[in-house]
Chain A
């Protein structure tokens, strides 16, 4: 019942007018960027970090969470109405959703996506409420060696599950880790990889990296292959409402999608793509009319949409309780915590319960706002898609560079931004996953600090990593997760076939 009381207290904080306003701004922004191609929730949070620096931490974090949830909603609209998902997590939605829209059933497709997201978001947020305190109780006994081992698990799973090839994922991760080395070592004051450039002594800014990779990289990539793709916006025809039959066919896929999404999101396995694929293939197998799949089956929209929202909520569990980001957006939210000097983890639950529980409670509010706002406003969101592409991307680049210009208007910083943009472009072109770079940059220095602290306590004895049962188990899991993809090479082929 402790969790329940804490949640009630959180609700009283989340319903304060200012916090409601932050949540509203968050969900509106999130939906808008989810709908628009080229910007996702991770980039939006990255762009807002320098601007929100002076604002209230609780309110800003509520806004970021709203952006995360809103982005998941908005992505489905783009997937259904044009066949280009705004978010990788909505890729599966496009399979059936776009077919439904072409068949004049765009309304029910949008409705089942929105209601499914609401159902999944609500159940999964309840999951956070009950899982988080339990995990916090375990994590409170973690020593530095356990944290180091946990981060090793996150490193491996984040780079092996994003993208298809473990070599490519690990390459991205190690680039991020190498970037994390740059700057003054916090324990000894030694400058590493700074090459005598004063701007580099503070290290590589997370926002510069994220904005370069996500915004510039994406713009360069889309511009370079603009001549190849043609987008067609499907108008929403017919009724927005679902028939009784639609409700019946959507209900169990929503529940099953949630059950796939939440645990996979909550495990440090990361990525919303896997649960959406799993949900899609399960619904296809269980459907009464499997022949409809590929021609617009509503189950194929309901399940994956529930799964991707539930997994977004799931990633907040390791983020809040352990400080472990398992998706790009969660990594940017961790950077958001860090900019206020807050470190998510068991201590934060003890020291700032108002902030943590206010944030969790605001998720319920954000979710409800999204349901109420999204269906009636769908026409407005669709109109966003009619912004001409040249102006859309030109505007994105202006805002992307503006964040860096406002934070650090130096030639070195801006050149780094441009260089990361080129890196993002090359990575997209050669199919390297981008998220592990950001996770590596943020978590790398933390993991190093924990390892060195552990070895300082043990007077340099590396066996401390294996003597703690928790740490030994986690390192074993990390090793298994590292080797498994090389052994089971067929995994990636399996994934491709399911799609």
Chain B
């Protein structure tokens, strides 16, 4: 009982982030230059939302201070790092023009590893096959364009 009533540090970080968002919205709205119109202009709503977010930041801080945040189970940081790493690789490959298929293959393998598989080469191949199938289906059948790299141009 005493354990769960302690101030919750993670909850306070969340409250701080909310306050930061509120300040950003406020600052951005404040820097808008515009002529006055009838009724309310584009500034009113952002101010209301910034105010609401600031109030909720205080509310969340209060919950965290009282230890009223939900209990959390232990988490596996490697799994999260693997998935986020896979996403980062995907973004980098797409951004550098590497194409859809290698990006997909790496994301697939990284996620499968995060969920406990230990067969990276097999999963890379499965991911690549999936990527090729999706690419052909979309590019040829539905005529939606997916980013093409060296491999895609061969297909």
Contacts and interface: CB of A to CB of B under 8 A. Distances in A.
Interface residues of B, number: 72
A223 B94 contact: no
- Secondary structure at the B interface, as helix, strand, loop or mixed, is helix
Interface string B77-93: 10110111011101100
A454 B127 CA distance: 53
A459 B38 CA distance: 6
A401 B87 contact: yes
Contact of B75 (A225, A421, A456): A225
A285 interface: no
B147 A430 contact: no
Interface string B115-155: 11100000100110011001000100010111100000000
Contacts of B29: 192
B145 A448 contact: no
A442 interface: no
A480 B35 CA distance: 37
A405 B63 contact: no
A185 interface: yes
Interface residues of A, number: 66
A389 interface: yes
Contacts of A193: 24-25, 28, 46
Contacts of A456: 37-39
A347 interface: no
B56 interface: yes
B114 A225 contact: no
Nearest to A406: B144
A398 B38 contact: no
Interface string A154-195: 000000000001011011001101100100010110101101
Contact of B46 (A181, A422, A451): A181
Nearest to A440: B49
A449 to B, nearest CB: 10
Given A394-B107, A394-B108, A425-B80, A418 B87 contact: yes
A499 interface: no
B145 A181 contact: no
Identify which of B60, B76, B80, B111 gathers the most chain A CB atoms within 10 Å of its CB: B111
A131 interface: no
A188 B49 contact: no
Given A228-B73, A393-B112, A456-B37, 13 more contacts: A178-B25, A181-B25, A192-B32, A220-B84, A223-B76, A390-B123, A391-B126, A397-B86, A405-B94, A405-B103, A411-B91, A422-B84, A456-B39
5 contacts: A193-B28, A397-B87, A411-B91, A430-B10, A430-B70
Interface of A: 50-51, 54, 165, 167-168, 170-171, 174-175, 177-178, 181, 185, 187-188, 190, 192-193, 195, 216, 219-220, 222-228, 388-391, 393-395, 397-399, 401-402, 405-406, 409, 411, 414-415, 417-418, 421-422, 425-426, 429-431, 448, 451-452, 454-456, 458-460
